[in-house]
Structure 1
Amino acid sequence: MSALDTLLDRTVIPGYSKLGYRLRSRTWPDDDPAPNSLTGKTVIVTGARSGLGKATAADLARLGARVRLVVRDASRAASAVADLRGDVPDATFEVDECDISDLDAVRRYAGRLTDPIHALIHNAGVMPAKRTQSPQGHELTLATHVLGPLLLTELLKPLLADGRVIFVASGGMYTQPLPTDPEYRDTPYKAATAYARTKRIQVELTPLLAADLAPTFVATMHPGWSETPGLTDSLPGFTRLTKHLLRTPAEGADTTVWLAATEPAPHTGKFWHDREPRPTHYLNRTRESEPARLAMWTYCRAAAGIQPQAT
């Protein structure tokens, strides 16, 4: 990592903004995914109706992938699919309806899939204003960002043998340690904190999931600050303050697409931003012990209904 890249990373505002992306992209080696590198391969993108998910789907399709767009409500995805087909006319897009927070829906969805999957991209995100529960009674951000993705990944193991699993996290996770109350039952609920805490969980469980799925590639990335409907709806004040600094959705999605398609696959189990592995902590107060990480792994797998691993 260059000195400029490190400086951009540590100072946050330049590094997470469109300035950071544009400065870094000028120095990247010539390792863009090759044209048509995903031809004949299937990728799944959750939360693909808008924003980062939609941009990710478009760029993967440009590389030749058949893209399955996982959305909560298929009827609301028609305009997004029309946009995508207009942008990439020769691509194949399929809309799959599944609420990732609903573990029963995840099981039904996984049971319908039979073809090999090259990349499973966990992009679906929520930030409810008040504490909300999933159909199984789990706090909604935890269910959407962690439990549903873990269960879907587990159920698709047979189809992911040579594939890649990528979680879209957030730089906001740097402010939070692993929670001792992942369901947010014991303290007053704060939407942004709940979001950041579940993104911290994603990052901390990535090395454990990578070991569990090996040789399948697993990574977590964060997209920086990108102009998306989710950001505008959830944090309107922040969006107004940073509107001149926000990345485009395509810039935010760049590292996800690169991780999904570049050859050979990068090192597994890492946390990435702008095509480089990044530290998972900058603050001593957020660092966790290995027993705490393993306890969270055990809790989340049990909460997702994943059977304990044989010893």
Structure 2
Amino acid sequence: MLDTIADRLVVPGYSKWGYRLREKTWTALEPVRGVRAVVTGAGSGIGKATALGLARLGAEVVLAVRDERKGEAAKAEILAAVPGATVEVRLCDVSSPESVRRFAAEIDRLDVLVHNAGVLPQERSVTPDGHELTFATHVLGPLLLTDLLRPVLAASPDPRVVFVSSGGMYTQRLRADDPEYREGTYKGATAYARTKRMQVTLVPLLSERYASDGIAVHGMHPGWADTPGVAGSLPGFHKLTRAFLRTSEEGADTIVWLAATKPAPRTGRFWHDRRERPTHVLPTTAEKPEDVAEFWRYSKDAAGLS
């Protein structure tokens, strides 16, 4: 009951206090040697912390990054913390279909795919392929990458896909009528939260799509973590909340847990601090089936899925 109350009150549940309260009841994760994991956006913040957590458990980790210098620096940090770990750096700009296709063609074995890469632009920008940047990065890129990697994931004995969303998605409804944020005054934080809502909507859809392959699909949010992305994109929020923000490692814990815990958690669910959470807390954000269907049709076509 205390856990649920803290979650609904937001500040206690999303802060470092919520994490440290809950972790007292958790058990240590078993090693996952031989498991190969791809983590997008692994050059810093929660992505790097996720890769480090998986490497500590013995997983082979591929850092999928758009900045190879940051990727190499992250690799060096992980190897310093876990000598002998298997860590690769591969170029992958998730907002670019060409880059995603090139990256996917290089992956011949995979057990875990973590969609962590994120952007929060202050002004609306469009990719060379004509899509709004946050939508391309958080929705279209992950959709395409997962579908391209479907065969290698299906070959794994325990394949898992994790979408790293945000608690901010609770403030937004699914905008199936304007997925690319063409209407109204553009606000970066709103675009971010909208596309994070879309990621949560995708989780049960993809869970059903890949059920026949045995691929589990999970969604989660990390709470409020002190990352370079938060400090750079939301300086006001960072200044106001810095005293009780989580570390990147605390934010990444549930991602690592979803990737490594056994037996595997139930597919198609949404998690925070190792516990299933509701996908809506405000009645105004509840989506209609026809909105979900419209969003799925548009996203699938825009991502080029068959």
Bin the TM-score by the shorter chain: over 0.9
1:58-79 Cα shifts (integer Å, max 9, x gaps): 0100111110000002133222
Which 4+ residue blocks in structure 1 deviate beyond 4 angstroms? Answer: none
1:62-99 Cα shifts (integer Å, max 9, x gaps): 11111000000213322221111101111011000010
- Is 1:201–2:190 an aligned residue pair? no
Three-state SS of the structure 2 residue aligned to 1:160 is: helix
CA–CA distance in structure 2, aligned partners of residues 273 and 152 of structure 1: 24
- Is 1:90–2:87 an aligned residue pair? no
CA–CA distance in structure 2, aligned partners of residues 294 and 25 of structure 1: 38
TM-score, length basis structure 2: 0.96
Three-state SS of the structure 2 residue aligned to 1:178 is: coil
- Count the aligned residue pairs: 300
Alignment of 1:227-242 (within 5 A): 227-242=226-241
Alignment of 1:82-161 (within 5 A): 82-115=76-109, 117-161=110-154
- Is 1:81–2:75 an aligned residue pair? yes
1:218-271 Cα shifts (integer Å, max 9, x gaps): 001000000000000000011011111100001000000000000110100001
Q: Which moved more, 1:296-305 or 1:72-81?
A: 72-81
CA–CA distance in structure 1, aligned partners of residues 80 and 7 of structure 2: 36
Identity of aligned residues (%): 58
Three-state SS of the structure 2 residue aligned to 1:68 is: strand
Alignment of 1:39-50 (within 5 A): 39-50=33-44
CA–CA distance in structure 1, aligned partners of residues 240 and 171 of structure 2: 20
**Residue ranges of structure 1 left out of the alignment (5+ in a row):** none
Match of 2:184 in 1: 187
Q: 2:43, 2:67 within 8 Å by CA — same for their partners in 1?
A: no
1:186 aligned partner, one-letter code: E
CA–CA distance in structure 2, aligned partners of residues 132 and 198 of structure 1: 15
1:261 aligned partner, one-letter code: A
Match of 1:305 in 2: 304
- Is 1:17–2:10 an aligned residue pair? no
CA–CA distance in structure 1, aligned partners of residues 126 and 142 of structure 2: 16
2:46 to 36, 49, 52: 52
**Residue ranges of structure 2 left out of the alignment (5+ in a row):** none
CA–CA distance in structure 2, aligned partners of residues 71 and 243 of structure 1: 27
Alignment of 1:260-275 (within 5 A): 260-275=259-274
2:253 aligned partner, one-letter code: D
Aligned-CA RMSD value: 0.9
CA–CA distance in structure 2, aligned partners of residues 106 and 149 of structure 1: 9
TM-score, length basis structure 1: 0.95
